[in-house]
Amino acid sequence: MIRMGVKFQDYYEILGVKREATEKEIKSAYRKLARKWHPDLHPGEKKAEAEEKIKKINEAYEVLSDQEKRKKYDRLGANWQSGQDFSPPPDMDGVHYYSPAEGMGGFSNFFEMLFGGMQHGFGDKQGPFRAAPRRGADVETELVLTLEEAYQGAEKTFRLDMQAACQQCGGSGIRGQSFCSACGGTGQHSTPRTLTVKVPPGTREGSKIRLRNQGGAAPGGQAGDLYLKIRLSPHAYFTVKGDDLEAELSVAPWQAALGAKVPARTLDGSVAVTVPPHSTAGKKLRLRGKGLSQKEGGLGDLYLKIVIDLPGQLLPEEIELYRQLSQIRPS
Ligand SMILES: [Zn+2]
């Protein structure tokens, strides 16, 4: 996933040179630092620190001494801070290298992300470049569903703007000595795609649906996966509370006083609910198993909160009866 912990590396800062530094200045700075931090000169407890330093210095030099790599790195702009959490423009070069750990001898995740596809280690500088497995980046996006769609399952068609590496420059944004005109130097094209997904019944807020190979493209490799993170749009009647649902149940004053059977809406359709005698406002009635599907396979409940309301219009006889009621219990 793109979301692994990648920290921005300020290669200019590591070598202690300006962004405008010439090749010569970079080389000279590198040589000085490489001599200074040579692990052999730092025995004992300082050795690990020196190895860490030299690894960063080597990596910085690897990028800044290589014209193509330096250009690509410079494209990120000058506003990045060393150690800042970094995620590249989506599918920056169509190639993504999985490197869960920054082990000794390897390059940083940041380097792998930018220049993935080659890898060699400290102490192995003469060794051949090994091709890394090529695979497009995994992409995550949100899919908004109604509560009913998520509960019952649905087939959804949606449009998605996918970033794909520019074919003209291979995603580098550079052609020859200038910016690629096809993509304006961004290295990518945005392509709208229409996708259809089957949402399984019982889908919940926050759950993820994976669409294999519908993620970032990889030239000459397999595309990454697309993850759809489910969001539920607010519902006019039901409120989701964990596995349970809550809703209001409107009853007339005499139904609340004497008890009644009243129709109530559930996600499975209408049911008749027994309102017990002397039901006060705010009392909750529980309908077992009328909530949402639980992970363990069970079902949550639906809680109906009693709201006592008058019908839109009262008949003259009803008004007369209320008058009598008010005389029994004057306020
Ligand atoms: Zn291009």
Domains of the chain: 11-131 (1.10.287.110), 139-232 (2.60.260.20), 239-328 (2.60.260.20)
C-alpha 136 – ligand 1 centre gap (Å): 17
Query: Is the alpha carbon torsion for 53, 55, 61, 67 positive or negative?
Result: negative
- pLDDT tens-digit readout, 213-225: 888 777 667 888 9
SS3 category, 34: helix
As a whole number, mean pLDDT of residues 105-123 equals: 56
User: What one-character DSSP code corresponds to residue 107?
Assistant: P
Residues lying with their CB under 5 A of ligand 1, a single-atom ion: 166, 168-169, 180, 182-183
C-alpha 79 – ligand 1 centre gap (Å): 23
Q: What is the pLDDT of residue 186?
A: 81
C-alpha 152 – ligand 1 centre gap (Å): 44
- pLDDT tens-digit readout, 69-113: 888 888 887 777 777 777 665 444 433 333 333 333 456 777 767
C-alpha 90 – ligand 1 centre gap (Å): 15
- pTM to 2 decimal places: 0.54
C-alpha 302 – ligand 1 centre gap (Å): 55
Q: What is the pLDDT of residue 326?
A: 92
C-alpha 111 – ligand 1 centre gap (Å): 21
C-alpha 181 – ligand 1 centre gap (Å): 6
Instruction: Give the whole-angstrom CA distance, residue 46 versus residue 205.
Output: 50
Alpha helical stretches, state H, 37-93:
47-64, 67-74
